């Protein structure tokens, strides 16, 4: 991906003011405790939606509206539209955030506005009565909450010193994974009242993200000088250039593949439990159990990995090993197609993915192409997080329709192995 700090097309770039962590070195000594404490709930509130809606609530809504025979194809179609919306929304939101001038700072207006629009979109999704409205509502949910998530992701490179980014990334990872797993548990609890779940998710996100902005005010950006926006330059950001930014390319690729492998299986677990394991309607009751088992593995690895990574000053070994652990876990149900196999997979995958999330965000923050466009670059990077979670049901649906459920597990494992290998070429981070 090329950086907007370049000068394509002969346009003269205007020098931006350096980020706050560069203009005030004395502020690097310690990340504000309030920021450390409140970033997890903020991340949790958005991840709760990604955990609850695509793989469970939306899957149930599709199943109820279109029947058993059409559910896989319809969910794949709806998910595909949502995935493309998410792919565009994150970098666009990041670029707008990087260039925003307001007395509330660059990030806050978009975080609040995105959550408000996302909450309204969830209400629309709750009452979508046909395929067209279902797609439109889900696309609006994707756009809105990605407009909140991209600026939120820029908080770490904006305001957190490198020495504690592993710890901060671990807190982010905990918020994200607790949200994802909590969303699955919440969704299963509201399986018979889907509209209420959508209302609860939207209202919670609005409250938590607004509180985050109020508790962590950013400095005014009204006097910030920003670069001239060049459409061609921005379009180039969708391409990760292995020549210009090789470390960024490989870190992005590692994240994309690891998340894809994980969510091809985990993001489709409702239908796996129903059809592959054979639980039928009883699958809903097992979702919270699977989530809690995964959470056990997640907690252990996330709490340890972030601090240990900071202490050792190393990121790559953690990312590499965690990718292999995830791959091993995802393969288990193919040889043990039972509830036991799913529970073993959940615990081991939670352990590996928790370690990955705890360290990968810190690694990414250290290979960004430009210090002038954190939110835009992270918006592009976050495509590697958002797309697998949203597109996984579509990709998994294609595999199931063509080859059956059994192939999901080796495919997910193989993709995760490639994700682990992809971090090896990163040179600027140990």
pLDDT tens track for 264-279: 888 778 889 999 999 9
Query: Distance of alpha carbon 93 from its chain centroid, rounded?
Result: 15
The three-state secondary structure class of 91 is helix
User: What pLDDT is recorded for position 189?
Assistant: 87
If phi > 0 it is left, if psi is from -120 to 50 it is alpha, else beta; for residue 101 that is: beta
Q: 18 falls in which pLDDT band (50, 70, 90)?
A: very low
Q: What is the pLDDT of residues 67-106, one digit of tens each?
A: 888 887 888 788 888 878 887 887 787 777 777 777 787 8
Q: Which of 327, 348, 332, 320 is nearest to 414 (CA)?
A: 327
pLDDT higher at 2 or 155: 155
Distance (Å, rounded) from C-alpha 301 to C-alpha 170? 10
User: What pLDDT is recorded for position 227?
Assistant: 61
Return the residue matching tokens 């796996």. Answer: 272
Q: 378 falls in which pLDDT band (50, 70, 90)?
A: low
Rounded (5°) CA angle 65-51-70: 25
Domain residue ranges in the chain = 33-217+244-422
Cα dist from 8 to 97, 237, 375, whole Å: 21, 12, 20
The three-state secondary structure class of 227 is coil
User: What pLDDT is recorded for position 1?
Assistant: 37
pLDDT at 7 over 50: no
User: What pLDDT is recorded for position 11?
Assistant: 30
The two structure tokens encoding residue 199? 């209302």
pLDDT at 335 over 70: yes
pLDDT at 369 over 80: no
User: What pLDDT is recorded for position 235?
Assistant: 60
- Residue 365 burial (CB < 10 Å; 0-12/13-18/19+)? buried
Q: Are 256 and 238 in contact (CB under 8 A)?
A: no
In 167-308, beta strands by DSSP E: none
Q: What is the pLDDT of residues 291-329, one digit of tens each?
A: 888 888 887 787 777 778 877 878 888 889 999 999 999
- To the nearest whole number, what is the mean pLDDT of the chain? 80
Q: What is the pLDDT of residues 398-429, one digit of tens each?
A: 888 888 888 999 999 999 999 999 999 988 87
Which distant-in-sequence residues (6+ apart) come within 8 Å of 287 by Cβ?
56, 184, 185, 187, 188, 269, 270, 273
Query: Which CATH fold would you assign to the domain 33-217+244-422?
Result: Growth Hormone; Chain: A; (1.20.1250)
Return the residue matching tokens 């046909």. Answer: 130
Give the CA diameter of the chain. 62
pLDDT at 151 over 50: yes
The two structure tokens encoding residue 175? 């918020």
Distance (Å, rounded) from C-alpha 35 to C-alpha 41? 11
The two structure tokens encoding residue 117? 């629009």
pLDDT at 182 over 90: no
- Which stretch of DSSP H or E encloses residue 236? helix 231-236
Which distant-in-sequence residues (6+ apart) come within 8 Å of 311 by Cβ?
none
Q: pTM for this structure?
A: 0.69
Distance (Å, rounded) from C-alpha 80 to C-alpha 76? 6
Q: Which of 98, 102, 89 is nearest to 148 (CA)?
A: 89
Through-space distance between the first and last CA atoms of the chain, rounded to whole angstroms: 22
């Amino acid at each position: 991906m090329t950086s907007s700090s370049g000068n394509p097309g002969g346009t003269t770039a205007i020098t931006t003011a350096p980020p706050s962590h560069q203009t005030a070195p004395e502020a690097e000594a310690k990340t504000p405790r309030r920021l450390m404490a409140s970033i997890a709930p903020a991340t949790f509130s958005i991840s709760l939606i990604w955990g609850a809606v695509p793989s469970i609530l939306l899957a149930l809504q599709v199943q109820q509206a279109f029947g058993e025979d059409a559910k896989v194809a319809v969910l794949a179609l709806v998910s595909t539209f949502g995935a493309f919306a998410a792919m565009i929304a994150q970098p666009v939101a990041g670029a707008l955030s990087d260039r925003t001038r307001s007395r509330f700072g660059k990030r806050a207006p978009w975080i609040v506005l995105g959550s408000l629009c996302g909450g309204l979109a969830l209400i629309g999704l709750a009452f979508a009565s046909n395929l067209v409205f279902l797609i439109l509502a889900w696309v609006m949910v994707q756009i809105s909450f990605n407009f909140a998530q991209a600026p939120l992701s820029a908080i770490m490179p904006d305001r957190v010193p490198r020495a504690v980014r592993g710890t901060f990334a671990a807190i982010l990872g905990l918020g994200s994974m607790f949200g994802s797993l909590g969303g699955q548990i919440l969704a299963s609890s509201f399986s018979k009242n889907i509209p209420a779940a959508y209302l609860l998710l939207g209202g919670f996100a609005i409250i938590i993200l607004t509180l985050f902005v109020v508790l962590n005010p950013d400095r005014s950006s009204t006097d910030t000088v920003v670069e001239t926006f060049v459409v061609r330059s921005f379009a180039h950001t969708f391409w990760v250039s292995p020549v210009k930014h090789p470390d960024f390319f490989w870190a992005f690729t590692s994240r994309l593949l690891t998340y894809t492998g994980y969510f091809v299986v985990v993001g489709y677990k409702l239908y796996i439990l129903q059809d592959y394991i054979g639980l039928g309607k009883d699958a809903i009751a097992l979702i919270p159990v699977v989530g809690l088992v995964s959470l056990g593995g997640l907690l252990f690895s996330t709490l340890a990995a972030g601090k240990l990574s900071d202490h050792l000053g190393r990121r790559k070994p953690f990312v590499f090993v965690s990718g292999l652990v995830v791959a091993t876990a995802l393969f288990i149900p193919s040889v043990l197609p039972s509830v036991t196999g799913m529970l073993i997979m959940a615990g081991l995958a939670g352990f590996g993915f928790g370690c990955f999330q705890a360290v990968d965000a810190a690694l990414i923050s250290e290979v960004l192409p430009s210090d002038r466009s954190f939110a835009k670059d992270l918006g592009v990077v976050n495509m590697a997080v958002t797309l697998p979670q949203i597109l996984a049901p579509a990709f998994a649906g294609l595999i199931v329709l063509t080859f059956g459920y059994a192939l999901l597990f080796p495919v997910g494992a193989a993709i995760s192995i490639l994700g682990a290998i992809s971090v090896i070429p990163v040179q600027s981070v140990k």
